[in-house]
A and B are shown apart, each in its own frame.
Chain A
Amino acid sequence: MTTASAPSASTTQTARSRLVMAWLLVGIPLAYGVYETLLKASKLFTG
């Protein structure tokens, strides 16, 4: 039986950075699309 060693601080940091980057890469375009659509949809309420 082997004992898994605890991940080092740098490994944890790398994993966290990867997670943030992955979400930013999809989150930024999606936020752009939502913003543009809200601008368009606002005409429904402002005429």
Chain B
Amino acid sequence: MSRLSGVLDAERIVAEPGYSRWLIPPAALAIHLSIGQVYAFSVFKRPLQVHFGTSLTAIAWVFSIAIVMLGLSAAFLGTWVERNGPRKAMFTSACCWASGFVIGAIGIATRQLWLLYLGYGVIGGIGLGVGYISPVSTLIKWFPDRPGLATGMAIMGFGGGALIASPLAVRLMQAFDAVTAAGPGAVASGAAVMKTFLVLGIAYFALMMVGVLNVRLPPGTQVGSGNSLAKYVPLRTGVNISAANAIRTPQFWMLWVVLFCNVTAGIGILEQAAPMIQDFFRAPLSATAPGSAPTSTVSAAVAGGFVGLLSMCNMAGRFIWSSTSDLVGRKRIYILYLGLGMVLYALLASVGAHSTALFATLAGVILSFYGGGFATIPAYLKDLFGTFQVGAIHGRLLTAWSCAGVAGPLIVNAIIEGRGKPGALTAQDYQPALFVMVGILGIGFVANLFVWPVHGRYHEDISTEKAPTSAPVQFKKVAP
């Protein structure tokens, strides 16, 4: 065990000179593509509901527990991740994520729902949180010249993970049910879901191990004997601020509000995407013949296509906008996300019902800003607090995501439910909710304007405590 621990230690993963820094983004992607599966959990909801003979809400708790554990583990284990380095963190994440699937599979096989909560929800959720933050700090240290590009590539993987997992899981369930002679179109059996969980657990563990093997700390990183990874790359102004100090600064909480508002507004569309586009293009009740239900011109298949388009925009925005932030600056890019986001939301509410193309375009750009907001935050943190404990600070900031994940759907659902029954709503019924989102983005916009450089009293004097004894970090550029 100690030998395994040694291989995973930060001391063992300082790159030799000439190690290509372009091996780090695929290592990070291997982790994020795997844990991004969580956003495709919905494909299991109906089969699990039938298998356990319970409500959809009871099954939805599996996902909710996983997301809450993501936020909690990122917040509380961020410092541990910084201290132990990315390889140990990625390995821990892989073990938690894979065993979450295996324990979940046992729960399905034995019809013990609590095992699914414990496995996929709690243990898998810890894997999510540790895995999400594990490569961020390392990427920023390898790419001090393009931190937005580097973290954008990794966090794009979290969005891309669902694109892979959703069709893959459906095909696996169909394949396993073919063996047990389930009819076409039938809900997948519990046995098929259980086997799919096992296959996914094994496959994700293998993919994550590729990341574990390839990740390295930059050459010249001095790894201390105690609790320090002692060679840090300061930002241009030389600022380095600890996680404990960062949460005492107003800048941290301004960014918390920025992320919370951006995510809340994005989830407002994401969560309602399929019914929303159908309701937007539904004939008003007054124009419907008495006794007949108002119909939508958008079919369920087209609504499904709209959800796919939003997923693509969410993923693309993570890479494109985060990379752009390296050129235009972090504060300006958030002015774009939040400011233009307000305009687009207002347009969606007022003229979105004119055509499906206009509606899809507006929603797609809004979702690209949602993804961009996620992916640019680590680079923004690096600008403000330096690379000293940026992973741990990022972990603490992700509590905004957990809160927005609860607040966004609550706000939208409460407003929409007050306007009428599902299946009879129209574009006008969505206007109040969309204008509330404009207001939420406005709060985030103002908070972003109040983000300014951190006061000197919070800065760490790492030059005396953790002075590097090895050569300065040098990055050898190797073309991929």
Contacts and interface: CB of A to CB of B under 8 A. Distances in A.
A44 B277 CA distance: 11
Interface string A1-39: 000100100000001001100110111011011101110
Contacts of A41: 305-306, 308-309, 312
Contacts of B18: 7, 15
Given A15-B20, A25-B30, A36 B210 contact: no
A28 B311 CA distance: 18
Given A25-B207, A42-B305, A47-B302, A37 B163 contact: yes
B157 A26 contact: yes
Interface string B335-370: 000000000000000000000110010000000000
B23 A22 contact: yes
A23 B479 CA distance: 13
Most central of B301, B302, B305 by chain A CB within 10 Å: B305
B306 A26 contact: no
A47 B167 CA distance: 20
16 contacts: A7-B18, A25-B26, A27-B26, A29-B33, A30-B164, A33-B164, A33-B167, A33-B168, A34-B163, A41-B305, A42-B305, A43-B302, A43-B305, A44-B302, A44-B309, A44-B356
Contact of A26 (B22, B33, B166, B311): B33
Contacts of A43: 301-302, 304-305
Interface in B186-222: 207, 210, 214
A36 to B, nearest CB: 4
A7 B17 CA distance: 10
B133 interface: no
B164 A19 contact: no
Given A25-B26, A34-B163, A38-B312, A44 B207 contact: no
Contacts of B163: 30, 33-34, 36-37
A43 B210 CA distance: 35
Most central of A15, A30, A40, A42 by chain B CB within 10 Å: A40
Nearest to B313: A41
A18 B23 contact: yes
Given A25-B26, A30-B33, A43-B305, 14 more contacts: A18-B214, A19-B23, A22-B27, A25-B30, A26-B26, A26-B210, A33-B160, A33-B162, A34-B312, A37-B312, A40-B304, A41-B308, A41-B312, A43-B304
Contacts of B302: 43-44, 47
A23 B308 contact: no
B288 interface: no
B299 interface: yes
A44 B30 contact: no
Interface in B309-349: 309, 311-312
Contacts of A45: 305, 357
Nearest to A4: B17
Given A29-B164, A37-B163, A19 B33 contact: no
Contacts of B22: 19
B17 A37 contact: no
B214 A22 contact: yes
B480 interface: yes
B38 interface: no
